[in-house]
């Protein structure tokens, strides 16, 4: 990951501000220098990583804060469809003292909430009845076994 590092000791008074500026530049740079596929993926949430083995397609996505019940996964027309929503959780105000209204002041809100739907084309036909998904610590893994006709057929070479 690229970082903007000062190659010399910074004057004490300015160091913290420069570090903060550098952090923000890092964030911008990371976004701009992301692979093209990732930037294209910004049109669709969540971003996914897809792998292919001889007998299955595996789709991974990071969905922190979601429960299995927040997700709706289906296969339609050789595409995997991920639907879901991230509820607007977040801290509640401290209990008021009766007369004064409790308040919450947000300093940053970078985590998105709301609903999403994404259709991920699959490179081969899959066996929709055997698709399995698991969600562990915010990471979703969907395993889509290939349809039998799409699995490689191993030809045994006989000795003469």
Partner 1 sequence: MVSQTTPAAAPAAPRTEPAPTYQPGIDICDRGTEMVFVADIPGAQPDGIDVRFEDGVLSLEATVARRELPGRIVRQEYGVGNYRRSFRLGDGFDASLISADYRKGVLTIRVPRLAAVRPRKVEVRTA
Contact residues for partner 1, defined by CB under 8 A: 1, 5, 16, 19-20, 22-24, 26-27, 30, 35, 37-38, 40-41, 47-53, 56-58, 60, 62-67, 89-94, 97, 99-100, 102-112, 123, 137-139
**In the sheet where 71-76 sits, what is the strand order?**
71-76, 79-86, 114-121
Report, in Å, the least distance between residue 57 CB and partner 1: 7
Report, in Å, the least distance between residue 47 CB and partner 1: 4
Q: Which is nearer to partner 1, 60 or 83 (CB)?
A: 60
Phi, psi of 72 (to 5 degrees): -135, 110
Q: Which is nearer to partner 1, 95 or 156 (CB)?
A: 95
Q: Which is nearer to partner 1, 18 or 156 (CB)?
A: 18
Q: Which is nearer to partner 1, 35 or 160 (CB)?
A: 35
Report, in Å, the least distance between residue 5 CB and partner 1: 7
Q: Which is nearer to partner 1, 112 or 114 (CB)?
A: 112
Phi, psi of 147 (to 5 degrees): -65, 145
Report, in Å, the least distance between residue 134 CB and partner 1: 12
**Tokens representing 116?**
């999403």
Report, in Å, the least distance between residue 158 CB and partner 1: 29
DSSP label at 118?
E
Long-range contacts of residues 138-141, Cβ cutoff 8 Å, at least 24 apart: 138/62, 138/63, 138/64, 138/65, 138/66, 139/60, 139/61, 139/62, 139/63, 140/46, 140/60, 140/61, 140/62, 140/63, 140/66, 140/71, 140/82, 141/58, 141/59, 141/60
């Amino acid at each position: 990951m690229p970082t903007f590092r000062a190659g010399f000791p910074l004057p004490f008074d300015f160091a913290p501000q420069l570090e903060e500026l550098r952090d923000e530049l890092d964030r911008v740079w990371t976004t701009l220098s992301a692979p093209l596929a990732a930037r294209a993926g910004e049109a669709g949430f969540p971003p996914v990583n897809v792998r292919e083995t001889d007998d299955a397609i595996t789709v991974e996505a990071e969905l922190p804060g979601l429960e299995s019940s927040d997700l709706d996964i289906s296969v339609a027309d050789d595409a995997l469809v991920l639907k879901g929503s991230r509820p607007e959780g977040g801290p509640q105000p401290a209990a008021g003292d009766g007369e004064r209204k409790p308040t919450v002041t947000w300093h940053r809100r970078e985590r998105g909430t709301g609903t999403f739907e994404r259709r991920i084309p699959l490179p081969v036909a899959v066996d929709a009845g055997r698709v399995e998904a698991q969600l562990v610590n915010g990471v979703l893994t969907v395993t889509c076994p290939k349809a039998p006709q799409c699995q490689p057929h191993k030809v045994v070479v006989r000795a003469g």
